[in-house]
Amino acid sequence: MTTDLSPGGRLDRALASLRGLSVGDALGSQFFVPVNHPLLKRRELPPAPWQWTDDTEMACSVVAVLAAHERIDQDALARSFAERHDFDRGYGPAVNRLLRLVREGGDWRELAAALFDGRGSWGNGAAMRIAPLGAWYADDPEQATHQAEISAYPTHQHREAVVGAMAVAAAAALAGAPGGPPGAEALLDGVIALVPARSAVGAGLRRARDMLDYGDAATVAAVLGCGRRTTAHDTVPFALWAAARGLGDYESAFWTTAQVGGDVDTTCAIVGGVLAAGEAGAPPAAWVRRTEALPSWVPVPV
């Protein structure tokens, strides 16, 4: 099997990943509503339509910038995040304020660097939006990792947030590689080799690799975290554990990820985006139909 390296082929793969991401985000977010929790236990779908959240909105900007520039242009990405920002999509307070100030003419470099007393945000926002970029670079996981690093800075400058984005992009690139996704061990080994080892995300990924034979996701989530703190290191290792275990089976991977709770729309967005980067990992068509359509400004292949 070969990989279509034309811009149109890359865009097709990125859009497939984006659809997987948006379904995970939209369906996952339904389970933030306590009334839907009994459905989660029985793996029953809530009533449609399922609205996507900030994870999908930001991922649409990533895809739009790749389609326009064929790489990450940080200024274009920051501009798109700010212009497309919808306050009602569930962004965290720091990013809400940041994007409003950028929209009013502020410099993202200064504003993002100043967040959290100058440490930068270590939230999971750079990781939650980046799987489609990995799909775009499915032939080149190193470039996926590099471009993901660049893509984080307009909003997330803490090392952990950046490494979290690198890890998710690497996973999507590996899952989308020609010949189909590698096995669970190969996927996590590949990601671990591509991201800086000296980080809490890197340490979490190594722990996730050691827990691949655990059958109980709740135990794994209790050890690795599942986004309850909404930090990159509390989110990405578990999400990539769930993606690695669920390669090629979107439906099962979704339920496994959602049932442990935590930052469910984001963990499910990451898992969905990584799985759908691979040809065998698309979400069920019925789930796509129940998910709110992507915004009209998302580029379509010509």
Q: Where do contacts with Mg ion occur on this chain (CB under 5 A)? A: 53-55, 90, 265
CB of 234 to Mg ion, least distance (A): 15
CB of 221 to Mg ion, least distance (A): 18
How far apart are CB 230 and Mg ion at their closest, in Å?
Answer: 10
Which CB, 87 or 219, lies closer to Mg ion?
87
For 136-147, letters b (16+ CB in 10 Å) and e give: bbbbbbebbbbb
CB 237 within 8 A of CB 204: yes
- Of 59 and 133, nearer to Mg ion (C-beta) is 59
Write out the two tokens for 18. 């984006």
User: Residue 90 or 190: which CB sits closer to Mg ion?
Assistant: 90
Q: Rounded to whole angstroms, how far apart are CA atoms 122 and 199?
A: 12
Task: In angstroms, give the least distance from the CB of 211 to Mg ion.
Answer: 26
* Contacts of 292 by beta carbon, 8 Å cutoff, 6+ apart: 22, 26, 49, 50, 51, 52
CB of 33 to Mg ion, least distance (A): 13
Between residues 211 and 294, which has the closer beta carbon with respect to Mg ion? 294
Closest-by-Cβ residue to Mg ion is: 53
- Residue whose pair of structure tokens reads 């996927």 in the numeric block: 187
Closer residue to Mg ion in complex, CB, 54/234: 54
Q: How far apart are CA 238 and CA 244, in angstroms?
A: 10
